[in-house]
Amino acid sequence: MDAMNGGRWESRAMLFRMLARGLTCPDKDMCEAIADGSFAVEAQGLFGAGAGSHENGQDFEELLEELARTAETPGLLETLRREYTRLFTAPQGALIPIWETIFLDPDKTQNEFGAILIRSREAADARSRYEAASVSMATRESADHMRIECEFTGYLCQRVQLAANESERDSWAEHLDGFVSVHLDRWFKPFFDTLATCARHPFYRAVAVLGQLVDVGKLRK
């Protein structure tokens, strides 16, 4: 773990925050960010920061141009929500379940709304790690949702970056190492690899590319 490289940790924190944003149920703010180009600018910057792990920069730029064109068509919000449901939450079988419990064991029981029981072992462990880091969930969503796991990982990366001394840095690095080893190591890479294969809309294809930039092993101690 390159704990002394503050710039790299800042980039990682920003990337995980972007992934969390991309895995949030689409809303008007997301559509505005696509329409005004701010999503593309931020995504391009993050891609550049992680380009050593992903060689096809021209393809990504073309993908963002394709995304910009979708903003000119009516019904962008509805289109994104349909794609989000198809990919992640469809009750009759999402292509890429967005909860760790179901992603790792698709036979787990789902209720009619496609949500998992929040008392699963994975969700309970994730929640306990959030609480140990003094992070309280502002949602009733299951704690093993990929968006929440990315949000928390970004938070921990930021705390490593901003640590005032080595002892504090080691403490936050310990939180990060434990969370990655128990959670992200198990499903982060296959989740974003599957998203890259299944996504149709350029927004989610772009999110998949950004996820594939991440080597979670480099977050470990």
User: Is the residue at 221 inside a domain?
Assistant: no
Report the pLDDT value the prediction gives residue 5, as an integer from 0 to 100: 65
Evaluate whether residue 30 is within a structural domain.
yes
Residue 12 lies in a domain: yes
134 phi, psi to nearest 5 deg = 65, 35
- Write the pLDDT tens digit of every residue in 86-101: 999 887 788 999 999 9
Prediction pTM value: 0.90
- pLDDT for the residue 105: 84
Note whether residue 17 is domain-resident: yes
Per-residue pLDDT band for 113 (boundaries 50, 70, 90) equals very low
> In this structure, is residue 220 part of a structural domain?
no
Q: How many domains does the chain have?
A: 1
pLDDT of residue 149: 97
pLDDT band at 215; cut points 50, 70, 90: very high
Calculate the CA dihedral of residues 27, 28, 29, 34 and round it to 10 degrees.
Answer: 100
Q: Which of 139, 132, 107 is nearest to 182 (CA)?
A: 132
Domain membership of residue 206 (yes or no) is yes
Which residue range is the domain that position 92 belongs to?
6-215
Say which residue the tokens 């072992």 belong to.
121
How many whole angstroms separate alpha carbon 165 and alpha carbon 167?
A: 6
Q: How far is CA 109 from each of CA 86, 88, 112, 123, 178, rounded to the nearest angstrom?
A: 18, 15, 10, 15, 28
* Residue 111 pLDDT > 80: no
Alpha-carbon distance of 64 to 43, in angstroms, equals 9
Here the CATH number for the domain that contains residue 143 is: 1.10.3480
| pLDDT tens string 147-203 | 999 999 999 999 999 999 999 999 999 999 999 999 999 999 999 999 999 999 999
Judged against a pLDDT cut of 60, whether residue 134 lies above it is answered with yes
Q: What is the pLDDT of residues 11-62, one digit of tens each?
A: 999 999 999 999 999 999 999 999 999 999 999 999 988 654 455 677 999 9
